[in-house]
Homo-oligomer: A and B are copies of this chain.
Amino acid sequence: MDKNLKRMATMHRMQVTGLELFYKNGYYNTSIDDILKSLSLSKGAFYYHFQSKEDFFVSIVQNLIVRKVYSMLIEPIEGKENPFLVIEKCFENALETAEHNEMDYGFILSNFISEFNRRNTVISNYLMDIYKVWEVNLISILQKGKSDGYVDRHVDSEGVATYLISSYMGVRTLMVQGNCRNLRYKYMQQLRQYFNSLTQKEAV
């Protein structure tokens, strides 16, 4: 399949550096030359491996961004435990990681969704696919939480998922402008407050 190791290695190098710069400076504010310069590669190399800037970015979304979001926000959320505790732990961990990252420029998925919204539907769709998986994952753990008696049966799982994703995306945007620690603390406290109101009250 991908026995062409050299090819894969170079493409991967380009994708990694590309993502780094796109994430840091934005897609429209990063030129292919910028990426090539930082890799000491030439135009020829780039267009040998990728058809266009857009094609290049799509490959980055499907290879790198998908995995980043999966490992940080999707995979950690599963299991038969209390969904609220699992989600809380996952979000706390994600925010803490961002907080300690000197090079944090916001939530990668939300940054690009916002940058491409209505401006490039091809890329937007690939990004929204990731969002949808995340959403479905949250909904399913909340539903499971209902049958396991953690989540109140009247709770609208889809609504909660939407609210969770919205608030997470928003707080990550705000965190880029300093005071992350305080933002995280306040955010997590309100998240717990919110979760508490969704928790199944034990029958007495």
A168 to B165, CA, bound (A): 11
Interface size for chain A: under 10, 10 to 19, 20 to 34, or 35 or more residues?
35 or more
C-alpha gap A160/B168 in the complex (Å): 14
| A93 CB-CB contact with B under 8 Å | no
Nearest Cβ in chain B — how far from A61, in angstroms?
15
Query: Can you name the residue of chain B whose Cβ is closest to the Cβ of A127?
Result: B177
User: Closest B-chain residue to A106, C-beta based?
Assistant: B117
Q: Quick one: given A170-B169, A197-B196, are A117 and B176 in contact (CB under 8 Å)?
A: yes
A184 to B35, CA, bound (A): 39
B interface footprint on A145-188 (CB within 8 Å = 1, 0 otherwise): 00000000000101110110111111101101100000100110
Closest chain B CB from A91 CB (angstroms): 12
Report yes or no: B114 in contact with A173, Cβ–Cβ below 8 A: yes
The reply on A97 being an interface residue by CB < 8 A is no
Docked-complex contact A118 and B176, CB < 8 angstroms? yes
Contact status B117-A156, CB under 8 Å: no
Copies in the complex: 2
Q: How far is the CA of A135 from the CA of B62 in the complex (A)?
A: 37
A113 within 8 A of B: yes
Given A26-B28, A193-B198: A117 in contact with B173 (beta carbons within 8 A): yes
Cα(A171)–Cα(B24), bound, Å: 23
**Min C-beta distance of A25 to chain B, whole Å:** 6
Query: Roughly how many angstroms separate A156 CA and B159 CA in the complex, as a whole number?
Result: 24
List the interface of chain A (C-beta within 8 A of B).
24-26, 28-29, 105-106, 110-111, 113-115, 117-119, 124, 128, 131, 156, 158-160, 162-163, 165-171, 173-174, 176-177, 183, 186-187, 189-191, 193-194, 196-198
21 A-B pairs (CB sep. < 8 Å): A24-B119, A26-B119, A28-B29, A113-B177, A114-B115, A117-B176, A117-B177, A128-B177, A156-B189, A159-B190, A160-B190, A162-B190, A163-B190, A163-B194, A165-B174, A166-B166, A166-B187, A168-B170, A170-B171, A170-B173, A194-B194
